[in-house]
Structure 1
Amino acid sequence: MDTANVIDIATLALGLAAKLAAPLLITALVVGFTVSLLQSVTQIQEITLSFVPKAIGVAVAIVLCGSWMISELVVTTHELFDRIPGLLGG
């Protein structure tokens, strides 16, 4: 296994991690920004007011995107398993 294969697998793993984390992070960002804007307009500074909506938003994002995330993981795992003979030189 040469360095090109290692770099290719590492790039694949980092791309997959970014692709799987994006829906959750974007949801938390949008909900957090909305709640922060609401807090600054109403001047209500409550910690749970910012945490609970983000937790609910991320949970909804997991429910909505969960099957897609699992299928992406399965496809990538199958792709890596298919590469094993070529990586071992056979």
Structure 2
Amino acid sequence: MTENMVMGIAKEALYTGMLVAGPILILSLVVGLLISIFQATTQIQEQTLTFVPKLVVILVALVIGGSWMLHELMKFTTKIMNLISVITK
């Protein structure tokens, strides 16, 4: 196993992680920002107000994109397992 191979695997692992986690994190960030703007304009300073809408948005995102996320993770895992079987021979 060469250094380039290890760096390629690490690069692909980071890319897959960002690809899978990115949509959920971006949606959560947008909802948090919108609620923060709402709180600033209405002067409601309740700290727990952001949790329920974020949880709902994350749940909806998982329901809609969960199969795609699982498919991407399975593709990466299959590629790693195939690479392990090639290396050990």
Note whether the superposition's TM-score is higher than 0.5: yes
Displaced runs of 4+ in structure 1, greater than 6 A? none
Percent sequence identity is 43
- In structure 1, the partner of 2:24 is 24
Q: CA deviation digits over 1:36-73, x for unaligned, max 9? A: 11111111011121111111111111111110000001
- In structure 2, the partner of 1:11 is 11
State the one-letter code of the partner of 1:2: T
C-alpha deviation, 1:28, in angstroms: 0.4
C-alpha deviation, 1:82, in angstroms: 2.1
Task: Give structure 2 stretches of 5+ with no counterpart.
Answer: none
- In structure 2, the partner of 1:2 is 2
* Cα distance between partner residues in 1 of 2:80 and 2:2: 16
* Cα distance between partner residues in 2 of 1:82 and 1:30: 38
Task: Give structure 1 stretches of 5+ with no counterpart.
Answer: none
Please, what TM-score do these two structures have when normalized by structure 2? 0.91
Aligned residues between the structures? 89
Please report the RMSD computed on the Cα atoms of aligned residues, expressed in angstroms: 1.2
